[in-house]
Amino acid sequence: EKGGHEYFMLKEIEEQPDALANTLRGHFSDGRIVLDEQRLSDQDLRDVDKVFVIACGSAYHSGLVAKYAIEHWTRLPVEVELASEFRYRDPVLDRDTLVVAVSQSGETADTLEAVRHAREQKARVLAVCNTNGAQIPRESDAVLYTHAGPEIGVASTKAFLAQIAANYLVGLALAQARGTKYPDEVAREFAELEAAPAAVQKVLSTVDQVRDLGRRIADSRAVLFLGRHVGFPVALEGALKLKELAYMHAEGFAAGELKHGPIALIEDGLPVVVVMPSPKGRAVLHAKLVSNISEIQARGARTIVIAEEGDETVRPFADELVEIPAVPTLLQPLVSTVPLQVLAAEIAKTRGYDVDKPRNLAKSVTVE
């Protein structure tokens, strides 16, 4: 059942190309993005003047990634918020607010309560969910299902990638309804998304390299993760995976914040994982990150660099270099997250922990 794998999580990591392809399937026809179980009309989508993405844990990180895409495509303001915070403040909501509730299980207590609060305030709620007929989609105005298949490992992997893809579909549907993207642009963005499963398949060829790396750094006290732009939420997700699986202190930072505090943490031998943007697609940010890496390396950090293949400028500063395929910037999180998942799982295994059942955690958090 683990398909010859030592742990389910590795099997689920390898299922990610399928999870993405299945999530995208059927959502583009007759030249248009189509969402499923749509109880929101085109007019409702056109009227949207603000988007909230609410979720917990990895699902929240999928929202942070999607903010870059949705704002870029739709010119709508997007706020991404932890459900447990959203529901206890007094967010400004009305019938032109679209609340996207992202949940693999569809049963997360805080996300469900946030949905209820949003609906009481007359906001439109669209659930992005991996579980058919779960409570959150039942109480939402519309639902877009991720088709990652059941996730057995407690730590989210394929559901996370599928959530990013689904959130992007929501963004494209909004752009289409609002006319902020021409139909041919929407079609081109969708075609790029459809190429993501092949890119993720390609990055799986780094699994052995990253497992070996994981075994070598498994006795570290802490690991830091740095990224910028869409690489920032990837850094947060990498750190979360490591905390929950390997019980290690791990933190993700926006690389631009380094000088505002985190650089004080750098000490000899500390592994720092850096998610590099594309040297071509994001040259300015790339240069800034190269400078960050050289600074932390000079202070003794052991730099683990996730970079686009052929990125030669970064090589001198990388104690370990993991190469990922070149993809458009908004798709990079789908490939750059994969090595971070593998790294966390392998460190956990090397430390003797149950990768699929980390201590103190449950797959579905139905209590607060």
105 touches ligand F6R by CB under 6 A:
yes
Residue 122 annotated in active site: no
Q: Which residue pairs, CB below 8 angstroms and at least 24 apart, start in 205-211?
A: 206/322, 206/323, 206/324, 206/338, 206/339, 206/342, 207/10, 207/13, 207/14, 207/342, 209/322, 210/322, 210/339, 210/342, 210/343, 210/346, 211/342, 211/346
Pick between residue 62 and residue 74 the one whose CB is nearest to ligand F6R: 62
244 touches ligand F6R by CB under 6 A:
yes
Sheet holding 50-55, edge to edge: 78-82, 50-55, 97-103, 124-129, 142-145
Virtual CA dihedral for 254, 164, 154, 277, nearest 10 degrees? -40
Pick between residue 218 and residue 365 the one whose CB is nearest to ligand F6R: 365
103 touches ligand F6R by CB under 6 A:
yes
Pick between residue 108 and residue 303 the one whose CB is nearest to ligand F6R: 108
Query: Which region among 99-107, 117-125, 252-260, 314-322 touches ligand F6R (by CB under 6 A)?
Result: 99-107
10 touches ligand F6R by CB under 6 A:
no
292 touches ligand F6R by CB under 6 A:
no
Residue entry with tokens 């996300």:
111
58 touches ligand F6R by CB under 6 A:
yes
16 touches ligand F6R by CB under 6 A:
no
23 touches ligand F6R by CB under 6 A:
no
Out of 16, 22, 23, 104, the only residue in the binding site for ligand F6R (CB under 6 A) is 104
109 touches ligand F6R by CB under 6 A:
no
The contacts of residue 140 (CB under 8 Å, 6+ apart) are: 101, 115, 119, 125, 126, 127
365 touches ligand F6R by CB under 6 A:
yes
Give ∠ CA 271-165-287 in degrees, rounded to 5: 40
Binding mask 140-159 for ligand F6R (x = CB under 6 A): ---------------xx---
Pairwise CA distance, residues 277 & 306, whole Å: 9
Catalytic residue numbers read 363
Site residues (vs ligand F6R, CB under 6 A): 56-59, 103-105, 108, 111, 155-156, 240, 244, 364-365
